[in-house]
Amino acid sequence: MTRSVTEAAVAARVAAVDLAQRTRADKDRALRAMADALEKRSAELVAANDADVRRAVEADTDPGIVDRLTLTEERIAKIAEALRSITALPDPVGEVVRGSTLANGLELRQVRVPFGVIGIVYEARPNVTVDAAGLCLKSGNAVLLRGSSSAKESNTALVNVLREALADNGFPADAVQLVLGDTHDSVTELLRARGLVDVVIPRGGASLIRSVVQNAIVPVIETGVGNCHVYVDADADPELAIELLIDSKTQRPSVCNAAETLLVHKDIADVFVPRALDALRAAGVTVHGDARIAAYAADPADVVPAQQADFEDEYLSLDIAAAVVDSLDEAIAHIRRYSTSHTELIITRSQAAAREFTARVDAAAVIVNASTRFTDGGEFGFGAEIGISTQKLHARGPMGLPELTSTKYIVIGDGQTRAKNANT
C-alpha cells in the first residue's frame, strides 16, 4: 500500500461507519478469527520479524529493546491469547451511561458510541500493534497504527494478517491500517487530520508524547509518563514500607508505574532510612539522595548526591531519588512540584494522613499502602488497556474499552416543542 495518511484516514472513516453498527457477537467472532490467523501464520510473522531484529542488532541497539522487538512462536501465541481475552470483555458500545424521563415526557438516554477513527503512535513493541487493533475493533473504532520504522517488517506482516482475517469475516479491512513513512511526516499528517481522526493516543517515552502534544490539532490523550513518588509517613510500618518501596521500584523498573522518588518523613527517618538503603542496595538500586538521606549511609559511596534533575525525570532503571521531608505538607508540596500526576503512594497507619494525602494529591492514581505497580488496566480489572492517561480530559489513569468511546444523547418525544413544553 502506498496510501497517504489522509487517504488512509478517509478509508478508515468509511470503515468506521460500518464498525459502529456491528454487534458484539460479530466483533468477538472477528477477534477470534484474527487470533487464529496470527497463530496459523506465525512462521511467516517470525520471518518478517527476523528482518527487523537483524537490522536492530546491526545498528547496535540496546539488547533490552531488541528483546522487546523480538517475536517468537510462543510470543505470538500470547499475543493471540490477548486478542481472545478481549472477547470476554463487555462491549462498551450501546451502554446507557445515564437516562431519565424529563418533566415534559421526553425520554433521555446518554449512550456510548465509538469515537470513529483512532490514531495510535507508538514505539518498537510489535505486540502493541495487535493489542491496539483488538481494543479498537471491540470498541467499534477504526484504527490508524503508526508504529516505529524499526518494527516496520513485523508490523506490516501483523497488520496484513489481521486485515485478511477481517476481510474473510465480512469486516472492512480498512478497520485496521498501518501508517508507514520513514520520516516524521506521516506522524505530522496524522496529527493534523482534523475531521478525519477523532483522537490520537501516543504510547511511548516522554519525548514522543511531548512532540505529539505540541504538533497535534486533533484531540490527543497523553499517556504514560510516570514520575511516581513513594512517601513514607511518620506513622508508617517500617517493615511494610520497605516491602512496598522495593516492589514499587524493582518489580519492573522500566515501566511508567514504577517508583522514581522516595520521600521520608523526618520522624521515621532514623528507623527507616538505614534499612531502606540496605534493602535498595541489596536489590541493586542506586540511591540519588539529598544531604539528609546521605547522612544515613553506612558508606558515603552508597548514596549519590541528588541533583534537581533526579527529582524531575523518570529513571525507568534501577535508580531512585530520595529526600527527607519535615512534614506531610512538605511531601505533598514536593509531589505537586515534580509529579507527572501518574501514581503517588503514601505508606501510613494514620487514617488522617491517608485521608489528607488522597484528598490533596492530584494524580491519576493515589494509593495508600500498596505498590505503585498496581496502576494498570489489567490490575484494576478493566481487562486489556490501551495506555494510562496522565491528562485530565476525557480519561485519566488506565484506559480500557469504555475510554475508547464517546457518547451521544438519544431523545425520544411525541411532539414536544419549546414553545409549549419547555422544562425551564
- Of residues 354-393, which lie at the interface with a second copy (CB under 8 A)? 354, 358-360, 362-371, 373-376, 378-381, 391-393
CB of 109 to a second copy, least distance (A): 9
SS3 157: helix
Q: What is the spatial distance between Cα 70 and Cα 79, in angstroms, rounded to a whole number?
A: 13
- Backbone dihedral region for residue 218 (phi beyond 0: left; psi -120 to 50: alpha; all else: beta): beta
Question: Which letter does DSSP use for residue 373 in this model?
Answer: G
User: How many residues belong to the site for a second copy (CB under 8 A)?
Assistant: 74
Q: In the complex, what is the shortest distance from the CB of residue 417 to a second copy, in angstroms, rounded to a whole number?
A: 4
**Residue 78 in the binding site for a second copy (CB under 8 A):** no
Nearest approach, Cβ of residue 264 and a second copy (Å): 18
- 334 sits near a second copy (criterion: CB under 8 A): no
Please give the torsion angle defined by the CA atoms of residues 212, 213, 214 and 218, in that order, rounded to the nearest 10 degrees.
90
Backbone φ and ψ for 70, nearest 5 degrees, come out as -75, 135
What is the rounded radius of gyration, in angstroms, for the C-alpha atoms of the chain? Answer: 24
Say which residue the cell 527529582 belongs to.
Answer: 311
Q: How far apart are the C-alpha atoms of 302 and 364, rounded to whole Å?
A: 33
What is the footprint of a second copy within residues 291-310 (CB under 8 A)? none
Q: Which is nearer to a second copy, 158 or 268 (CB)?
A: 268
**Applying CB under 8 A, does 25 fall inside the site for a second copy?**
no
Could you tell me whether strands 343-347 and 303-305 are parallel, antiparallel, or unpaired per DSSP bridges? unpaired
194 binds a second copy per the rule CB under 8 A: yes
Shortest gap between Cβ of 63 and a second copy (angstroms)?
24
Q: Which of 25, 102, 295, 352 binds a second copy (CB under 8 A)?
A: 102
With respect to a second copy, which residue has the nearer C-beta, 42 or 405? 405
**Cell numbers for 283:** 536489590
Query: Of 153 and 385, which has the nearer Cβ to a second copy?
Result: 385
Q: Under a CB-based contact definition with an 8 Å cutoff, are residues 388 and 397 in contact?
A: yes
Binding residue for a second copy (CB under 8 A) from 6, 70, 148, 416?
Answer: 416
| Interface stretch with a second copy, choices 64-72, 73-81, 289-297, 402-410 (CB under 8 A) | 402-410
We find the least distance from the C-beta atom of residue 137 to a second copy, in angstroms, to be 18
- Whether 30 and 137 have beta carbons less than 8 Å apart is answered as yes
Q: Which is nearer to a second copy, 47 or 393 (CB)?
A: 393
> Residue 290 CA to chain centroid, in angstroms?
31
Does 100 interact with a second copy (rule: CB under 8 A)? yes
Distance CA 69, CA 123 (A): 10
Q: Which of 1, 4, 17, 291 binds a second copy (CB under 8 A)?
A: 17
Which residue's CB is nearer to a second copy, number 86 or number 354? 354
Q: Is 148 in the site for a second copy (CB under 8 A)?
A: no
Contact 256, 224 (CB under 8 A): yes
Q: How far apart are the first and last CA of the chain?
A: 55
**Least Å from the CB of residue 354 to a second copy:** 7
- Cα–Cα dist 55/152, whole Å: 11
**Which DSSP string do the residues of 306-358 spell out, in sequence order?**
PPHHHHHS---SSEEEEEEESSHHHHHHHHHHH--SSEEEEE-S-HHHHHHHH
Nearer to a second copy, 76 or 199 (CB): 199
Residues 10/11/12/15 CA torsion (nearest 10 deg): 130
Q: Which is nearer to a second copy, 199 or 273 (CB)?
A: 199
Which residues ranging from 201 to 260 are in contact with a second copy (CB under 8 A)? 213-214, 217, 219-221, 240, 243-244, 247, 251-252
The nearer residue to a second copy, 162 or 353, going by C-beta atoms, is: 353
Complex with a second copy: residue 94 or 274, whichever CB lies closer: 94
Any idea what the Cα angle at residue 315 is, between residues 67 and 361, rounded to 5°? 125
Instruction: Using CB under 8 A, pick the residue from 62, 88, 299, 418 that binds a second copy.
Output: 418
Q: Does 407 bind a second copy (CB under 8 A)?
A: yes
- State the minimum distance, in angstroms, from the CB of residue 370 to a second copy: 3
